[in-house]
């Protein structure tokens, strides 16, 4: 009967043979390097892509060249934003292992040129550019949305406030998330029902988090009480129980830490004391009694 080690070795050997097969597409050969994309990818593009084996330098040069061509076409196009969105789709499907810093730099070129264009100040398609920029900002998404709104882009678009609020909520800044949604209402963003629903959903999620926190705290307190019942208790020396059946307090002897010089003096003093007569004054021994 084959052991589990033999089975694992067969799986590894089959995987290596699959990688060495020339008929295997790149996406399967380098599937561990494929970075998930929130917006998904086209199946045909994944099968045709060679981006997983592309170096960063060649990726950057190819992407820069493609964006330059797109910008040139935008000069004569009636809808440049549509061409920019097509470039974004091309980049995401062309390179499966997206370099976020590179993508951020390319998206910023688009934002600088068209975010304040009068044709796109309230065009919701511009939100697709801002959201991609936030996703590739390496943890600074809330600053991206703040920059967009403060510079006059999509001020009356309700959805940008919702995404901005979610960025704060992901960082446990619930109060800031509330402020963003109410800011959208004060700014007259439409549709207002989107903001109202977002506020309700935020409060429901926050209430659920608080309930879970209280439940976890109660479990921690219960665990501490159980540990106190099952564990050992430390008592002060004066409250130690009496040893055996007697009532005399136990004698505690400390370990000797005397040096040779002090030990010789101690022996001389002990010899002198031993020569003195013993006086018995019939003093009662110290006893421990239980007072009730």
Q: What is the DSSP string of 194-209?
A: HHHHHHHHHHHHHHHH
CB 71 within 8 A of CB 113: yes
The model carries a pTM of 0.62
Q: Write out pLDDT tens, residues 185-244.
A: 999 999 999 999 999 999 999 999 998 888 877 666 555 555 555 555 565 655 555 555
Cβ neighbours of residue 225 closer than 8 Å, sequence gap 6 or more: none
Distance CA 60, CA 65 (A): 8
The average pLDDT across 112-123 equals 94
Question: Given pLDDT bands bounded at 50, 70 and 90, which one contains residue 26?
Answer: low
Q: Write out pLDDT tens, residues 201-212.
A: 999 999 999 988
Distance CA 208, CA 210 (A): 5
Q: Write out pLDDT tens, residues 134-147.
A: 999 988 999 999 99
Domain boundaries, the chain: 21-140, 156-226
Looking at 1.25.40.430, 3.40.228.10, 2.60.40.1180, 3.40.920.10, the CATH number of the domain 21-140 comes to 1.25.40.430
Q: What is the DSSP string of 172-184?
A: T-HHHHHHHHHHH
Burial class from Cβ neighbours inside 10 Å (0-12, 13-18, 19+) for residue 3 reads exposed
Instruction: Identify the architecture of domain 156-226 in CATH.
Output: Alpha Horseshoe (1.25)
pLDDT of residue 112: 94
Q: Write out pLDDT tens, residues 156-178.
A: 999 999 999 999 999 999 999 99
Domains 21-140 and 156-226 share a fold: yes
Determine if the peptide bond prior to 38 is cis (ω within 30°): no
pLDDT at 7 over 50: no
């Amino acid at each position: 009967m084959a052991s589990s080690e033999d089975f694992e070795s067969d799986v590894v050997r089959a995987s290596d043979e699959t990688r060495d097969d020339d008929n295997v597409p790149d996406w399967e050969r380098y599937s561990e390097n494929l970075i998930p994309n929130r917006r998904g990818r086209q199946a045909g593009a994944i099968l045709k892509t060679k981006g997983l084996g592309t170096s960063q330098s060649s990726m950057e040069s190819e992407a820069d060249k493609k964006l330059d061509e797109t910008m040139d076409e935008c000069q004569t196009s009636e809808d440049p934003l549509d061409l920019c969105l097509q470039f974004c789709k091309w980049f995401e499907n062309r390179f499966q292992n997206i370099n976020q810093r590179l993508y951020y730099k390319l998206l910023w070129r688009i934002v600088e040129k068209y975010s304040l264009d009068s044709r796109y100040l309230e065009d919701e398609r511009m939100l697709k550019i801002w959201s991609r920029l936030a996703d590739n900002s390496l943890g600074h998404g809330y600053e991206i949305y703040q920059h967009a709104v403060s510079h006059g882009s999509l001020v009356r678009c309700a959805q940008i406030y919702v995404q901005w609020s979610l960025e704060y909520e992901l960082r446990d800044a619930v109060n800031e998330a509330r402020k963003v949604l109410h800011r959208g209402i004060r700014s007259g963003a439409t549709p207002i029902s989107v903001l109202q629903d977002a506020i309700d959903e935020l409060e429901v999620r926050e209430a659920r988090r608080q309930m879970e926190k209280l439940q976890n705290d109660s479990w921690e307190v219960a665990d501490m009480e159980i540990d106190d019942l099952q564990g050992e208790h430390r008592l002060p020396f004066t409250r130690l129980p009496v040893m055996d059946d007697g009532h005399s307090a136990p004698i505690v002897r400390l370990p000797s830490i005397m040096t040779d010089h002090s030990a010789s003096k101690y022996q001389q003093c002990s010899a002198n004391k031993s020569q003195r007569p013993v006086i018995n004054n019939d003093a009662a021994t110290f006893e421990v009694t239980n007072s009730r």
